[in-house]
A and B are shown apart, each in its own frame.
With several copies, the nearest count.
Chain A
Protein backbone atom coordinates (compact mmCIF):
# COMPACT_ATOMS: atom_id res chain seq x y z
CA UNK A 1 0.00 0.00 0.00
CA UNK A 2 1.21 3.51 -0.71
CA UNK A 3 0.52 6.99 0.57
CA UNK A 4 0.48 9.62 -2.14
CA UNK A 5 1.04 13.12 -0.80
CA UNK A 6 0.49 16.05 -3.12
CA UNK A 7 0.98 19.78 -2.67
CA UNK A 8 -1.20 21.67 -5.13
CA UNK A 9 -2.55 25.13 -5.80
CA UNK A 10 -5.78 25.76 -3.81
CA UNK A 11 -7.80 26.56 -6.90
CA UNK A 12 -6.88 23.24 -8.52
CA UNK A 13 -8.48 21.24 -5.71
CA UNK A 14 -11.84 20.69 -7.40
CA UNK A 15 -10.25 19.55 -10.65
CA UNK A 16 -7.92 17.19 -8.82
CA UNK A 17 -10.78 15.76 -6.79
CA UNK A 18 -12.72 15.02 -9.95
CA UNK A 19 -9.67 13.50 -11.57
CA UNK A 20 -9.21 11.22 -8.56
CA UNK A 21 -12.84 10.21 -8.68
CA UNK A 22 -12.52 9.22 -12.34
CA UNK A 23 -9.38 7.33 -11.35
CA UNK A 24 -11.60 5.38 -8.97
CA UNK A 25 -10.35 6.99 -5.78
CA UNK A 26 -13.12 7.55 -3.27
CA UNK A 27 -11.22 8.82 -0.31
CA UNK A 28 -8.90 11.76 0.19
CA UNK A 29 -7.75 13.82 3.13
CA UNK A 30 -7.01 17.48 2.54
CA UNK A 31 -5.39 20.21 4.59
CA UNK A 32 -4.49 23.87 4.21
CA UNK A 33 -0.72 24.43 4.20
CA UNK A 34 1.73 27.23 3.51
CA UNK A 35 4.22 26.62 0.79
CA UNK A 36 7.74 27.98 0.56
CA UNK A 37 9.49 27.38 -2.73
CA UNK A 38 10.57 28.81 -6.03
CA UNK A 39 7.27 30.57 -6.47
CA UNK A 40 8.21 32.92 -3.68
CA UNK A 41 5.79 35.42 -2.16
CA UNK A 42 5.29 39.16 -2.39
CA UNK A 43 6.28 42.33 -0.58
CA UNK A 44 3.71 44.76 0.79
CA UNK A 45 3.77 47.87 2.94
CA UNK A 46 1.65 48.40 6.05
CA UNK A 47 1.58 51.85 7.62
CA UNK A 48 4.61 52.63 5.49
CA UNK A 49 6.75 49.73 6.67
CA UNK A 50 7.61 47.00 4.19
CA UNK A 51 6.88 43.40 5.00
CA UNK A 52 7.21 40.21 3.05
CA UNK A 53 4.65 37.46 2.65
CA UNK A 54 7.19 34.75 1.79
CA UNK A 55 4.77 31.86 1.49
CA UNK A 56 2.01 30.85 -0.87
CA UNK A 57 -1.21 29.20 0.32
CA UNK A 58 -1.29 25.59 -0.87
CA UNK A 59 -3.39 22.49 -0.34
CA UNK A 60 -1.91 19.18 0.74
CA UNK A 61 -3.70 15.96 -0.24
CA UNK A 62 -3.10 12.56 1.31
CA UNK A 63 -4.34 9.56 -0.62
CA UNK A 64 -3.83 5.98 0.45
CA UNK A 65 -3.87 3.63 -2.53
CA UNK A 66 -2.88 0.09 -3.27
CA UNK A 67 0.38 -0.49 -5.03
CA UNK A 68 -0.93 -1.06 -8.52
CA UNK A 69 -2.98 2.11 -8.73
CA UNK A 70 -0.23 4.42 -7.51
CA UNK A 71 0.98 5.42 -10.92
CA UNK A 72 -2.53 6.03 -12.21
CA UNK A 73 -3.21 8.23 -9.22
CA UNK A 74 0.02 10.17 -9.56
CA UNK A 75 -0.61 10.74 -13.24
CA UNK A 76 -4.17 11.81 -12.55
CA UNK A 77 -3.03 14.38 -10.02
CA UNK A 78 -0.19 15.66 -12.19
CA UNK A 79 -2.47 16.16 -15.15
CA UNK A 80 -5.24 17.79 -13.16
CA UNK A 81 -3.05 20.01 -11.00
CA UNK A 82 -0.75 21.27 -13.71
CA UNK A 83 -1.18 24.85 -14.83
CA UNK A 84 2.35 25.03 -16.19
CA UNK A 85 3.08 28.02 -14.02
CA UNK A 86 5.67 27.95 -11.29
CA UNK A 87 4.24 26.78 -8.00
CA UNK A 88 2.15 23.91 -9.28
CA UNK A 89 3.51 21.79 -6.48
CA UNK A 90 4.91 18.37 -5.76
CA UNK A 91 3.84 14.82 -5.28
CA UNK A 92 5.65 12.22 -3.25
CA UNK A 93 4.91 8.60 -2.59
CA UNK A 94 5.74 6.63 0.55
CA UNK A 95 5.20 3.02 1.48
CA UNK A 96 2.60 2.07 4.05
CA UNK A 97 2.98 -0.99 6.23
CA UNK A 98 -0.58 -1.21 7.32
CA UNK A 99 -3.97 0.39 6.84
CA UNK A 100 -7.05 0.01 9.02
CA UNK A 101 -10.60 1.24 8.59
CA UNK A 102 -11.65 2.29 12.05
CA UNK A 103 -15.34 1.61 11.59
CA UNK A 104 -14.92 -2.04 10.59
CA UNK A 105 -11.42 -2.89 11.58
CA UNK A 106 -10.84 -4.07 8.02
CA UNK A 107 -7.20 -4.04 7.02
CA UNK A 108 -5.26 -3.63 3.81
CA UNK A 109 -6.90 -2.98 0.48
CA UNK A 110 -10.40 -3.49 1.89
CA UNK A 111 -9.71 -0.63 4.28
CA UNK A 112 -9.16 1.96 1.58
Chain B
Protein backbone atom coordinates (compact mmCIF):
# COMPACT_ATOMS: atom_id res chain seq x y z
CA UNK B 1 0.00 0.00 0.00
CA UNK B 2 2.91 2.25 0.71
CA UNK B 3 3.88 2.21 -2.91
CA UNK B 4 0.35 2.26 -4.11
CA UNK B 5 -0.51 4.85 -1.56
CA UNK B 6 2.40 6.93 -2.68
CA UNK B 7 1.58 6.58 -6.32
CA UNK B 8 -1.92 7.66 -5.44
CA UNK B 9 -0.75 10.53 -3.35
CA UNK B 10 1.62 11.48 -6.03
CA UNK B 11 -1.01 11.26 -8.64
CA UNK B 12 -3.14 12.92 -6.05
CA UNK B 13 -0.72 15.76 -5.67
CA UNK B 14 0.79 15.94 -9.10
CA UNK B 15 1.41 19.59 -9.74
CA UNK B 16 0.13 20.55 -6.33
CA UNK B 17 3.39 22.24 -5.67
CA UNK B 18 2.60 24.14 -8.77
CA UNK B 19 -0.91 24.87 -7.70
CA UNK B 20 0.45 26.50 -4.61
CA UNK B 21 3.35 28.22 -6.26
CA UNK B 22 1.88 29.44 -9.55
CA UNK B 23 -1.91 29.28 -9.38
CA UNK B 24 -2.34 30.43 -12.92
CA UNK B 25 -0.14 27.66 -14.27
CA UNK B 26 -2.12 25.19 -12.24
CA UNK B 27 -5.27 26.35 -13.88
CA UNK B 28 -3.42 26.16 -17.14
CA UNK B 29 -2.54 22.44 -16.88
CA UNK B 30 -6.21 21.90 -16.04
CA UNK B 31 -6.26 18.76 -13.89
CA UNK B 32 -9.77 17.56 -13.12
CA UNK B 33 -10.85 19.84 -10.21
CA UNK B 34 -12.43 16.96 -8.28
CA UNK B 35 -9.19 14.99 -8.51
CA UNK B 36 -7.19 18.00 -7.40
CA UNK B 37 -9.51 18.63 -4.45
CA UNK B 38 -9.22 14.98 -3.47
CA UNK B 39 -5.44 15.29 -3.65
CA UNK B 40 -5.52 18.35 -1.44
CA UNK B 41 -7.74 16.54 1.05
CA UNK B 42 -5.36 13.58 1.04
CA UNK B 43 -2.38 15.80 1.73
CA UNK B 44 -4.31 17.37 4.61
CA UNK B 45 -4.98 13.93 6.06
CA UNK B 46 -1.28 13.06 5.85
CA UNK B 47 -0.32 16.28 7.63
CA UNK B 48 -2.95 15.79 10.34
CA UNK B 49 -1.62 12.27 10.76
CA UNK B 50 1.90 13.60 11.13
CA UNK B 51 0.78 16.04 13.81
CA UNK B 52 -0.81 13.21 15.77
CA UNK B 53 2.27 11.02 15.50
CA UNK B 54 4.55 13.86 16.60
CA UNK B 55 2.37 14.26 19.69
CA UNK B 56 3.13 10.64 20.56
CA UNK B 57 6.56 11.85 21.67
CA UNK B 58 4.81 13.34 24.69
CA UNK B 59 3.22 9.98 25.37
CA UNK B 60 6.54 8.16 25.30
CA UNK B 61 8.06 10.81 27.54
CA UNK B 62 5.35 10.41 30.16
CA UNK B 63 5.21 6.62 30.09
CA UNK B 64 8.97 6.29 30.43
CA UNK B 65 9.29 8.99 33.08
CA UNK B 66 6.35 7.73 35.10
CA UNK B 67 7.77 4.21 35.18
CA UNK B 68 11.20 5.43 36.30
CA UNK B 69 12.29 6.80 39.68
CA UNK B 70 11.91 10.40 40.79
CA UNK B 71 15.65 10.95 41.12
CA UNK B 72 16.09 10.33 37.39
CA UNK B 73 12.88 11.95 36.19
CA UNK B 74 14.36 15.14 34.75
CA UNK B 75 16.93 13.09 32.87
CA UNK B 76 14.44 10.57 31.47
CA UNK B 77 11.94 13.20 30.38
CA UNK B 78 14.74 15.25 28.82
CA UNK B 79 16.04 12.37 26.73
CA UNK B 80 12.53 11.87 25.45
CA UNK B 81 12.30 15.57 24.71
CA UNK B 82 15.68 15.99 23.02
CA UNK B 83 15.34 12.85 20.93
CA UNK B 84 12.68 14.59 18.87
CA UNK B 85 15.10 17.23 17.66
CA UNK B 86 18.17 15.02 17.47
CA UNK B 87 16.57 12.39 15.28
CA UNK B 88 14.78 15.08 13.30
CA UNK B 89 17.93 16.95 12.35
CA UNK B 90 19.80 13.83 11.24
CA UNK B 91 16.78 12.59 9.27
CA UNK B 92 16.32 16.00 7.69
CA UNK B 93 19.95 16.15 6.57
CA UNK B 94 20.62 12.59 5.42
CA UNK B 95 18.17 10.03 6.76
CA UNK B 96 15.17 10.97 4.65
CA UNK B 97 17.11 10.99 1.37
CA UNK B 98 18.72 7.64 2.19
CA UNK B 99 15.36 6.08 2.96
CA UNK B 100 13.06 7.72 0.44
CA UNK B 101 15.15 9.81 -1.91
CA UNK B 102 14.38 7.63 -4.84
CA UNK B 103 10.79 7.41 -3.91
CA UNK B 104 10.14 11.08 -3.99
CA UNK B 105 10.66 11.03 -7.72
CA UNK B 106 7.35 9.43 -8.33
CA UNK B 107 5.85 11.17 -5.36
CA UNK B 108 6.35 14.56 -6.85
CA UNK B 109 5.49 13.61 -10.36
CA UNK B 110 7.27 16.50 -11.96
CA UNK B 111 9.94 16.57 -14.62
CA UNK B 112 12.70 17.21 -12.13
CA UNK B 113 13.01 14.14 -9.89
CA UNK B 114 14.47 14.63 -6.44
CA UNK B 115 16.43 11.44 -6.24
CA UNK B 116 17.20 7.91 -7.26
CA UNK B 117 18.89 4.76 -5.91
CA UNK B 118 22.19 5.33 -4.19
CA UNK B 119 23.08 1.71 -3.58
CA UNK B 120 21.76 -1.14 -5.70
CA UNK B 121 19.17 -1.19 -8.46
CA UNK B 122 16.05 -2.95 -9.70
CA UNK B 123 14.78 -5.43 -7.13
CA UNK B 124 17.86 -4.94 -5.04
CA UNK B 125 18.00 -1.34 -3.91
CA UNK B 126 19.53 -0.77 -0.47
CA UNK B 127 19.71 3.01 -0.18
CA UNK B 128 18.36 6.02 -2.00
CA UNK B 129 19.55 9.58 -2.47
CA UNK B 130 18.32 13.05 -3.33
CA UNK B 131 16.61 15.87 -1.51
CA UNK B 132 19.41 16.25 1.00
CA UNK B 133 18.34 18.70 3.71
CA UNK B 134 15.16 19.15 1.65
CA UNK B 135 17.22 21.57 -0.43
CA UNK B 136 18.12 19.73 -3.61
CA UNK B 137 15.74 18.86 -6.40
CA UNK B 138 12.17 20.07 -6.58
CA UNK B 139 10.64 20.45 -3.14
CA UNK B 140 6.84 20.61 -3.23
CA UNK B 141 4.33 20.94 -0.40
CA UNK B 142 3.36 17.32 -1.02
CA UNK B 143 6.93 16.15 -0.52
CA UNK B 144 7.20 18.22 2.65
CA UNK B 145 3.99 16.78 3.99
CA UNK B 146 5.30 13.28 3.30
CA UNK B 147 8.59 14.15 4.99
CA UNK B 148 6.79 15.40 8.09
CA UNK B 149 4.87 12.15 8.37
CA UNK B 150 8.02 10.09 7.90
CA UNK B 151 10.16 12.05 10.33
CA UNK B 152 7.52 11.46 12.99
CA UNK B 153 7.76 7.70 12.46
CA UNK B 154 11.54 7.83 12.68
CA UNK B 155 11.37 9.68 15.98
CA UNK B 156 9.25 6.91 17.41
CA UNK B 157 12.04 4.46 16.70
CA UNK B 158 14.65 6.78 18.17
CA UNK B 159 12.80 7.14 21.45
CA UNK B 160 12.26 3.43 22.13
CA UNK B 161 15.76 2.72 23.53
CA UNK B 162 15.46 5.68 25.89
CA UNK B 163 13.07 3.40 27.76
CA UNK B 164 15.17 0.25 27.98
CA UNK B 165 18.32 2.21 28.80
CA UNK B 166 16.71 4.69 31.18
CA UNK B 167 18.22 5.74 34.53
CA UNK B 168 21.82 4.90 33.56
CA UNK B 169 22.51 6.46 30.17
CA UNK B 170 25.02 9.28 29.88
CA UNK B 171 23.57 12.32 28.17
CA UNK B 172 26.48 12.61 25.77
CA UNK B 173 26.16 9.00 24.65
CA UNK B 174 22.44 9.34 24.25
CA UNK B 175 22.86 12.36 21.96
CA UNK B 176 24.98 10.35 19.55
CA UNK B 177 22.34 7.61 19.40
CA UNK B 178 19.71 10.17 18.47
CA UNK B 179 21.73 11.37 15.51
CA UNK B 180 22.71 7.86 14.46
CA UNK B 181 19.13 6.61 14.54
CA UNK B 182 17.74 9.48 12.50
CA UNK B 183 20.60 9.51 10.03
CA UNK B 184 21.35 5.83 9.49
CA UNK B 185 19.70 3.23 11.70
CA UNK B 186 16.05 3.89 10.88
CA UNK B 187 16.65 4.74 7.21
CA UNK B 188 18.17 1.31 6.57
CA UNK B 189 15.09 -0.83 7.10
CA UNK B 190 12.79 1.96 5.93
CA UNK B 191 14.62 2.05 2.61
CA UNK B 192 14.35 -1.70 2.21
CA UNK B 193 10.62 -1.70 2.82
CA UNK B 194 8.56 1.49 2.61
CA UNK B 195 11.24 3.08 0.49
CA UNK B 196 10.66 0.37 -2.09
CA UNK B 197 13.97 -1.42 -1.53
CA UNK B 198 14.77 -5.09 -1.73
CA UNK B 199 12.41 -6.38 0.97
CA UNK B 200 9.48 -4.71 -0.76
CA UNK B 201 10.44 -6.58 -3.91
CA UNK B 202 10.62 -10.10 -2.55
CA UNK B 203 7.29 -10.79 -4.28
CA UNK B 204 9.21 -10.46 -7.53
CA UNK B 205 12.71 -11.56 -6.55
CA UNK B 206 11.59 -14.51 -4.38
CA UNK B 207 7.89 -14.68 -5.24
CA UNK B 208 6.92 -14.26 -1.60
CA UNK B 209 3.33 -12.96 -1.42
CA UNK B 210 3.29 -9.22 -2.11
CA UNK B 211 6.73 -8.76 -0.61
CA UNK B 212 7.22 -7.43 2.91
CA UNK B 213 3.92 -5.85 3.98
CA UNK B 214 3.76 -3.60 7.04
CA UNK B 215 0.91 -1.14 6.87
CA UNK B 216 2.00 1.35 9.52
CA UNK B 217 5.13 -0.08 11.05
CA UNK B 218 4.84 -2.93 13.57
CA UNK B 219 8.16 -3.92 12.07
CA UNK B 220 9.60 -0.87 10.31
CA UNK B 221 9.08 1.25 13.40
CA UNK B 222 8.39 -0.84 16.50
CA UNK B 223 10.35 -4.06 16.04
CA UNK B 224 13.27 -2.10 14.61
CA UNK B 225 13.13 0.18 17.64
CA UNK B 226 12.72 -2.80 19.92
CA UNK B 227 15.82 -4.43 18.45
CA UNK B 228 17.80 -1.31 19.29
CA UNK B 229 16.25 -1.28 22.77
CA UNK B 230 17.41 -4.85 23.30
CA UNK B 231 20.90 -4.16 22.01
CA UNK B 232 21.18 -1.09 24.21
CA UNK B 233 19.94 -2.91 27.30
CA UNK B 234 22.50 -5.65 26.79
CA UNK B 235 25.42 -3.31 26.26
CA UNK B 236 24.59 -0.86 29.06
CA UNK B 237 23.70 -3.51 31.65
CA UNK B 238 21.15 -3.59 34.43
CA UNK B 239 20.52 -0.78 36.89
CA UNK B 240 22.28 -1.04 40.23
CA UNK B 241 20.05 -3.09 42.50
CA UNK B 242 17.87 -4.54 39.77
CA UNK B 243 19.07 -8.09 40.38
CA UNK B 244 20.08 -9.87 43.57
CA UNK B 245 23.42 -11.58 43.73
CA UNK B 246 21.63 -14.77 42.80
CA UNK B 247 20.11 -13.03 39.80
CA UNK B 248 16.55 -12.77 41.09
CA UNK B 249 15.02 -9.61 39.64
CA UNK B 250 13.98 -6.95 42.16
CA UNK B 251 11.00 -4.69 41.57
CA UNK B 252 11.81 -1.02 41.07
CA UNK B 253 8.37 0.62 41.00
CA UNK B 254 7.78 3.66 38.83
CA UNK B 255 7.45 6.93 40.69
CA UNK B 256 4.32 8.34 39.04
CA UNK B 257 1.56 6.01 37.87
CA UNK B 258 -0.90 8.72 36.74
CA UNK B 259 1.84 10.20 34.58
CA UNK B 260 2.42 6.85 32.89
CA UNK B 261 -1.30 6.36 32.36
CA UNK B 262 -1.68 9.78 30.78
CA UNK B 263 1.22 8.93 28.51
CA UNK B 264 -0.53 5.74 27.47
CA UNK B 265 -3.70 7.63 26.62
CA UNK B 266 -1.70 10.13 24.57
CA UNK B 267 -0.09 7.25 22.68
CA UNK B 268 -3.51 5.73 21.98
CA UNK B 269 -4.64 9.12 20.69
CA UNK B 270 -1.62 9.59 18.45
CA UNK B 271 -1.77 6.01 17.24
CA UNK B 272 -4.82 6.82 15.18
CA UNK B 273 -2.67 9.18 13.16
CA UNK B 274 0.06 6.58 13.07
CA UNK B 275 -2.18 3.89 11.58
CA UNK B 276 -5.21 5.52 9.98
CA UNK B 277 -3.31 8.24 8.12
CA UNK B 278 -1.04 5.58 6.67
CA UNK B 279 -3.62 5.22 3.91
CA UNK B 280 -2.01 8.45 2.71
CA UNK B 281 -5.44 9.25 1.41
CA UNK B 282 -8.82 10.22 2.80
CA UNK B 283 -10.16 9.12 -0.56
CA UNK B 284 -9.22 5.61 0.50
CA UNK B 285 -11.93 5.09 3.12
CA UNK B 286 -10.08 2.11 4.50
CA UNK B 287 -8.73 4.66 7.00
CA UNK B 288 -11.94 4.14 8.95
CA UNK B 289 -11.41 0.38 9.08
CA UNK B 290 -7.85 0.98 10.19
CA UNK B 291 -8.84 3.38 12.97
CA UNK B 292 -11.44 0.99 14.33
CA UNK B 293 -9.19 -2.05 14.18
CA UNK B 294 -6.57 -0.03 16.03
CA UNK B 295 -8.97 0.83 18.82
CA UNK B 296 -10.21 -2.76 19.04
CA UNK B 297 -6.72 -4.20 19.43
CA UNK B 298 -5.80 -1.61 22.04
CA UNK B 299 -8.94 -2.25 24.07
CA UNK B 300 -8.58 -6.03 24.02
CA UNK B 301 -4.86 -5.78 24.70
CA UNK B 302 -5.43 -3.70 27.84
CA UNK B 303 -8.19 -5.86 29.29
CA UNK B 304 -6.58 -9.21 28.50
CA UNK B 305 -3.33 -7.97 30.03
CA UNK B 306 -5.26 -6.88 33.11
CA UNK B 307 -6.78 -10.35 33.48
CA UNK B 308 -3.51 -12.11 32.71
CA UNK B 309 -1.41 -10.20 35.22
CA UNK B 310 -4.13 -10.65 37.85
CA UNK B 311 -3.95 -14.35 37.20
CA UNK B 312 -0.16 -14.29 37.29
CA UNK B 313 0.44 -12.09 40.31
CA UNK B 314 -2.88 -11.47 41.98
CA UNK B 315 -3.57 -7.83 41.25
CA UNK B 316 -4.31 -5.70 38.15
CA UNK B 317 -0.89 -4.03 37.93
CA UNK B 318 -1.51 -0.66 36.26
CA UNK B 319 1.84 -0.82 34.49
CA UNK B 320 0.92 -4.10 32.84
CA UNK B 321 -2.49 -2.79 31.82
CA UNK B 322 -0.76 0.09 30.10
CA UNK B 323 1.78 -2.21 28.48
CA UNK B 324 -1.09 -4.43 27.37
CA UNK B 325 -2.83 -1.63 25.52
CA UNK B 326 0.44 -0.55 23.93
CA UNK B 327 1.23 -4.15 22.99
CA UNK B 328 -2.12 -4.45 21.26
CA UNK B 329 -1.57 -1.18 19.42
CA UNK B 330 1.91 -2.17 18.32
CA UNK B 331 0.72 -5.58 17.12
CA UNK B 332 -2.20 -4.23 15.05
CA UNK B 333 -0.03 -1.58 13.40
CA UNK B 334 1.15 -3.82 10.55
CA UNK B 335 -2.10 -5.71 9.86
CA UNK B 336 -4.64 -2.99 10.70
CA UNK B 337 -5.75 -2.45 7.09
CA UNK B 338 -5.84 -6.07 6.04
CA UNK B 339 -7.78 -7.80 8.78
CA UNK B 340 -11.40 -8.01 9.93
CA UNK B 341 -12.49 -6.53 13.28
CA UNK B 342 -12.70 -9.99 14.85
CA UNK B 343 -9.08 -10.59 13.87
CA UNK B 344 -8.07 -7.25 15.38
CA UNK B 345 -9.65 -8.43 18.63
CA UNK B 346 -7.75 -11.72 18.49
CA UNK B 347 -4.48 -9.94 17.74
CA UNK B 348 -5.07 -7.60 20.68
CA UNK B 349 -5.74 -10.53 23.02
CA UNK B 350 -2.60 -12.36 21.97
CA UNK B 351 -0.52 -9.20 22.37
CA UNK B 352 -1.95 -8.67 25.85
CA UNK B 353 -0.61 -12.02 26.98
CA UNK B 354 2.57 -11.81 24.92
CA UNK B 355 3.67 -8.51 26.40
CA UNK B 356 3.43 -9.82 29.96
CA UNK B 357 5.08 -13.15 29.31
CA UNK B 358 7.89 -11.50 27.40
CA UNK B 359 8.47 -9.00 30.20
CA UNK B 360 8.89 -12.00 32.51
CA UNK B 361 11.14 -13.73 30.00
CA UNK B 362 13.39 -10.71 29.45
CA UNK B 363 13.76 -10.15 33.16
CA UNK B 364 13.89 -13.70 34.49
CA UNK B 365 15.51 -15.64 31.69
CA UNK B 366 17.60 -13.09 29.80
CA UNK B 367 18.34 -11.27 33.07
CA UNK B 368 18.00 -7.98 31.25
CA UNK B 369 16.77 -4.75 32.81
CA UNK B 370 14.15 -2.92 30.74
CA UNK B 371 12.58 -0.37 33.13
CA UNK B 372 9.54 0.33 30.98
CA UNK B 373 9.11 -2.88 28.99
CA UNK B 374 10.20 -1.35 25.69
CA UNK B 375 11.67 -4.59 24.40
CA UNK B 376 8.45 -6.48 25.04
CA UNK B 377 6.02 -3.83 23.87
CA UNK B 378 7.83 -2.74 20.73
CA UNK B 379 10.17 -5.60 19.94
CA UNK B 380 8.04 -8.64 20.74
CA UNK B 381 4.59 -7.31 19.91
CA UNK B 382 5.96 -5.55 16.83
CA UNK B 383 7.39 -8.83 15.60
CA UNK B 384 4.09 -10.54 16.28
CA UNK B 385 2.31 -7.82 14.31
CA UNK B 386 4.47 -8.37 11.26
CA UNK B 387 3.80 -12.10 11.41
CA UNK B 388 0.07 -11.45 11.96
CA UNK B 389 -0.13 -9.89 8.50
CA UNK B 390 0.88 -13.23 7.06
CA UNK B 391 -1.74 -15.02 9.12
CA UNK B 392 -4.88 -12.91 9.47
CA UNK B 393 -4.99 -10.87 6.25
CA UNK B 394 -8.28 -11.60 4.54
CA UNK B 395 -7.48 -10.48 1.02
CA UNK B 396 -10.01 -7.66 1.00
CA UNK B 397 -7.42 -4.92 0.73
CA UNK B 398 -3.97 -4.16 -0.64
CA UNK B 399 -4.38 -4.66 -4.35
CA UNK B 400 -1.13 -3.91 -6.14
CA UNK B 401 0.78 -3.54 -2.91
CA UNK B 402 4.48 -2.99 -3.45
CA UNK B 403 3.56 -3.09 -7.09
CA UNK B 404 2.85 -6.80 -6.83
CA UNK B 405 0.17 -8.20 -9.15
CA UNK B 406 -2.12 -9.10 -6.24
CA UNK B 407 -5.82 -8.51 -5.64
CA UNK B 408 -5.25 -8.09 -1.90
CA UNK B 409 -2.99 -9.26 0.90
CA UNK B 410 -3.81 -12.80 1.90
CA UNK B 411 -2.63 -14.61 5.01
CA UNK B 412 -2.67 -18.19 6.15
CA UNK B 413 -6.37 -17.96 6.98
CA UNK B 414 -6.90 -17.62 3.25
CA UNK B 415 -4.69 -20.60 2.65
CA UNK B 416 -1.79 -18.54 1.33
CA UNK B 417 1.60 -19.17 2.95
CA UNK B 418 3.69 -16.97 0.66
CA UNK B 419 2.90 -13.74 2.46
CA UNK B 420 3.87 -15.31 5.76
CA UNK B 421 7.20 -16.13 4.17
CA UNK B 422 7.78 -12.52 3.19
CA UNK B 423 6.90 -11.43 6.71
CA UNK B 424 9.16 -13.99 8.37
CA UNK B 425 12.02 -12.88 6.15
CA UNK B 426 11.48 -9.31 7.27
CA UNK B 427 11.43 -10.36 10.90
CA UNK B 428 14.63 -12.34 10.50
CA UNK B 429 16.32 -9.35 8.90
CA UNK B 430 15.27 -7.11 11.81
CA UNK B 431 16.55 -9.45 14.51
CA UNK B 432 19.81 -10.23 12.74
CA UNK B 433 20.90 -7.30 10.60
CA UNK B 434 19.21 -4.41 12.40
CA UNK B 435 19.86 -5.83 15.85
CA UNK B 436 23.46 -6.37 14.77
CA UNK B 437 23.82 -2.80 13.59
CA UNK B 438 22.40 -1.45 16.84
CA UNK B 439 24.51 -3.76 18.95
CA UNK B 440 27.65 -2.83 17.03
CA UNK B 441 26.80 0.84 17.45
CA UNK B 442 26.37 0.70 21.21
CA UNK B 443 29.32 -1.64 21.73
CA UNK B 444 31.52 0.46 19.55
CA UNK B 445 30.45 3.72 21.15
CA UNK B 446 31.09 2.22 24.56
CA UNK B 447 34.52 0.96 23.56
CA UNK B 448 35.55 4.26 21.99
CA UNK B 449 34.32 6.21 24.99
CA UNK B 450 36.31 3.95 27.28
CA UNK B 451 39.35 4.16 25.05
CA UNK B 452 39.07 7.95 25.25
CA UNK B 453 39.02 7.63 29.04
CA UNK B 454 35.43 8.82 29.13
CA UNK B 455 34.28 5.70 30.92
CA UNK B 456 31.79 4.34 28.41
CA UNK B 457 28.17 5.11 27.62
CA UNK B 458 26.96 4.33 31.12
CA UNK B 459 26.90 6.89 33.91
CA UNK B 460 29.05 6.39 37.00
CA UNK B 461 27.68 4.31 39.90
CA UNK B 462 27.71 7.42 42.08
CA UNK B 463 25.64 9.45 39.64
CA UNK B 464 23.25 6.55 39.21
CA UNK B 465 22.93 6.11 42.97
CA UNK B 466 22.13 9.73 43.78
CA UNK B 467 20.12 10.05 40.59
CA UNK B 468 21.11 11.42 37.18
CA UNK B 469 19.13 14.63 37.53
CA UNK B 470 21.73 16.79 39.23
CA UNK B 471 24.90 15.31 37.76
CA UNK B 472 23.60 15.21 34.20
CA UNK B 473 20.94 17.90 33.91
CA UNK B 474 21.82 20.30 36.72
CA UNK B 475 18.26 20.31 38.02
CA UNK B 476 16.09 17.90 39.91
CA UNK B 477 12.71 16.99 38.47
CA UNK B 478 10.97 17.81 41.76
CA UNK B 479 13.31 19.93 43.86
CA UNK B 480 10.62 20.77 46.40
CA UNK B 481 8.98 17.43 47.08
CA UNK B 482 10.43 15.42 49.95
CA UNK B 483 11.29 11.95 48.71
CA UNK B 484 11.84 8.64 50.48
Contact = CB atoms under 8 A, between A and B. Distances in A.
Contacts of B317: 45-48
Contacts of B363: 47-49
Nearest to A53: B470
Contacts of A48: 309, 312-313, 317, 320, 356, 359-360, 363
Interface of A: 11, 32, 34, 42, 44-51, 53, 57
A44 to B, nearest CB: 4
Nearest to A59: B484
B474 interface: yes
A44 B465 contact: no
Given A11-B465, A42-B470, A47 B359 contact: yes
B483 A46 contact: no
A83 to B, nearest CB: 11
Interface residues of B, number: 25
A77 B274 CA distance: 56
B315 A45 contact: yes
A47 B323 CA distance: 10
Nearest to A30: B484
B35 to A, nearest CB: 52
A28 B185 CA distance: 53
B314 interface: yes
A10 B373 CA distance: 28
Contact of A46 (B312, B356, B474): B474
B250 A51 contact: yes
A89 to B, nearest CB: 16
Contacts of A46: 251-253, 317, 319, 474-475
A62 B312 CA distance: 39
B373 A45 contact: no
Nearest to A14: B241
B460 to A, nearest CB: 14
Given A11-B465, A32-B484, A51-B251, A45 B359 contact: no
Contacts, number: 50
A57 B251 CA distance: 20
7 contacts: A42-B470, A44-B315, A46-B253, A46-B475, A49-B250, A50-B251, A51-B251
A36 to B, nearest CB: 13
A45 B314 contact: yes
B38 interface: no
B326 to A, nearest CB: 14
B249 interface: yes
B366 interface: no
A101 B475 CA distance: 31
A51 B359 contact: no
A51 B314 CA distance: 13
A44 B483 contact: no
Interface in B345-371: 356, 359-360, 363
Contacts of B474: 44-46
B365 to A, nearest CB: 12
Contacts of A45: 251, 313-315, 317, 474
B247 to A, nearest CB: 12
Contacts of B484: 32, 34
Contacts of A34: 484
